Amino acid sequence: MYMKNELPQFSKIRTEQIEPQIRQILAQNQRQVTELLQQPTFTWDNLMRPLEDQDDVLSKAWSPISHLHSVMESEGLRQVYRNCLPLITEYYTELAQNEKLYAAVKSIADSPAYADFDAAQKKVIEDEIRDFRLAGIHLPADKKARFAELEQQLTEWTTKFSENLLDATQGWYLHITNRAQLAGLPEQTIKLAEENAAQHKKTGWVLTLEYPCYSSAMKFLHDRELRRVMYEAYVTRASDQGPRAGKWDNTPVMKNILRARHEMAQLVGFKNFAEYSLATKMAKHPDKVLKFLHDLLKKSRPVAEKEIAELKQFALETGGLREMQTWDMMYYSEKLRQSKFNFSQEKLRAYFPAQKVIDGMFALVKKIFGLTLKEEKNIDTWHPQVQFFVLYDEQGEFRGGLYTDLYARPHKRDGAWMDEYQSRRRLKDGKIQYPIAYLTCNFMRPLDNKPALLTHEDVETLFHEFGHCLHHLVTKVDYAPVSGINGVPWDAVEFPSQFMENWCWEKETLAMISSHYQTGETLPENLYQQLIATRQFQAALQMLRQLEFAIFDFRIHLEFHPDHSAQIENILQEVRQQTNLMDVPTFNRFQHSFAHIFAGSYCAGYYSYKWAEVLSCDAFEKFKEHGTFDPTSGRSFLQNILEAGGVKDPLVAFVAFRGREPQVDALLRQSGLM
């Protein structure tokens, strides 16, 4: 394989060698910047290319460490990660506040040669100049120093948030010795609980807060008191409430994160962090974001009120439940789904063995985009369950590589995400460095000598993250800062991922990705019809849940005031009055585990999921109009969206594909709201 020697050697990473290596690279890069800035004049080749080269060296050294910190954390790795992160933060802050470097980049933008730059080069320069300003290049020395200090604090607190959440998730479990208490649980979950017990050196069964176990318990466990116990432990993780109250409390951490972001934004001339965040997004003004979210809320709430009334009536009739609590919702929703549609996600597991889903997903992208993925064996990875695939285009040209790590395990961060090892770029000798991505999920692992079996929700998650990976891997942009997902406004970055989810509901696709793990039978027609019938089941309630997250996120960053001590809780309560149709227990501390905004890149940007879903639903309707596997539409999406990287304005790219601006109607139709 062309790139095999370029891949990280995970088995050779030694914790004690990480910090010295990072320090050496940082020092070398700093020396090189000093030397570059001594040149009399600046061009793309003598400044921008060397800067990209040195950034690539650092990125490829740090990416495997950062990735291992998320998927295979150990005490030693956590400590070295904490030691190195401030060094890297300081390095990038100094670069962003280097006035000589800013002047050098600006001189290129002002030079006659700039007119001859291609669109990607111009976008790199434009983004650089914008980011210098967002880092306070124009500030006096004392304010620059304060901005740098806040950057360090923010790095420290967001890391602490993640660590607290991981420790709190791993630090609680429920030991059960009476099998009767597990009544209702699928056999897969019971087997998982047996294995969990063995890992904890206990007899019986252990239920954990890892999501595959937790969600299954909340949907199927008949024992209401056990559901309440599990719910309380889950929604109080890393907080001042619940069974481990105060042990890994993120309360002060969240306040420090918001305080640092707010002050940084004000230092560089913004009223608040929400406005600062929008400087790099499609939606340029807070009013536009809030109007978008509240318009969806207005359309969703009346439908959701009918859905919750139906659920409460069902719980009363079938369970004698006069007052439904939040820990009853998933359980009775699942029962209602089964009652209305004779359908359960667990019914589908047998038809979605993970490898069949992956093979079918790859067959799909070959059909619509002309892309081929092949597994490459004998690759040095971080865990035996990790696979590696190489990507080729329609002409047989090599385009990139993809690691997949699909299953939950101890010491692995919860959730699903895509990240990059390296980006596409053209090297000085004219050769291409090809992109490499990580695809990480937390599905139920293979059990009892059976293959890993996915729910349809798992399949959607896999397609979503694969969409991100495709966006990064198939780019044809040759400059790393704007190739793949780089340089794409954050409220457009979810477009390709949510677009890919649509295919999971198509009959032709389901035939490609399903195969009973014992009989080989594809998804039967009756199960397909039941699945389709459930697509809009409680869709408005799901919409309200996402809107709660998005409005809460945006408002705490828009309205933050350093002197208002209970602001996070107060704003959340106000938002819940608009979005929640059931009383939330006073002990609920969902915000303490909201890693997307307190430890990730979605701060003042969680609205991006719904914003980009407008694009994805509308784009998919073009395929519905021209045929599910229409190659012309597929190649157009590939060319205009996936290959374009961060060069084109996302709206311009969308219009090039769709022939008009996006319309919200497709999202409303898909959600059953019109």
90 is catalytic: no
Cβ-contact 97, 147 below 8 angstroms = yes
Q: Give the separation between CA 605 and CA 607, rounded to whole angstroms.
A: 5
Cβ-contact 476, 482 below 8 angstroms = no
For 488, which DSSP code? -
Is residue 72 classed as helix, strand or coil in its secondary structure? coil
Q: Give the separation between CA 645 and CA 475, rounded to whole angstroms.
A: 6
Q: Is 355 left (phi over 0), alpha (psi -120 to 50) or beta?
A: alpha
Residue 421 has which token pair? 């090892």
601 CB-contact burial (10 Å; exposed 0-12 / middle 13-18 / buried 19+) = exposed
Q: Give the separation between CA 423 and CA 436, rounded to whole angstroms.
A: 7
Place of tokens 């929640």: 580
Q: Give the separation between CA 646 and CA 476, rounded to whole angstroms.
A: 11
Q: What are phi and psi of 148, to 5 degrees?
A: -65, -40
Residue 536 has which token pair? 């809009």
For the chain, the distance separating the N- and C-terminal CA atoms, rounded to the nearest angstrom, is 51
Q: Give the separation between CA 472 and CA 495, rounded to whole angstroms.
A: 12
* Overall size of the chain counted in residues: 674
List the helix and strand counts (H, then E) for the chain.
Answer: 26, 9
Sequence-separated (6 or more) residues with CB below 8 Å from residue 475? 424, 435, 483, 484, 642, 643, 644, 645
Q: Give the separation between CA 457 and CA 469, rounded to whole angstroms.
A: 19
Query: Pairing mode, if any, of strands 398-407 and 436-443?
Result: parallel
What single letter denotes the amino acid at residue 426?
Answer: R
Place of tokens 């500030």: 139
What angle is formed at CA 459 by the lines to CA 289 and CA 372, rounded to 5 degrees?
Answer: 100
Residue 448 has which token pair? 């009892």
Tell me which of 334, 465, 501, 613 is the catalytic residue: 465
Residues facing residue 387 across a β-bridge:
404
Q: Give the separation between CA 479 and CA 427, rounded to whole angstroms.
A: 9
Cβ-contact 437, 510 below 8 angstroms = no
The residues that are catalytic are 465
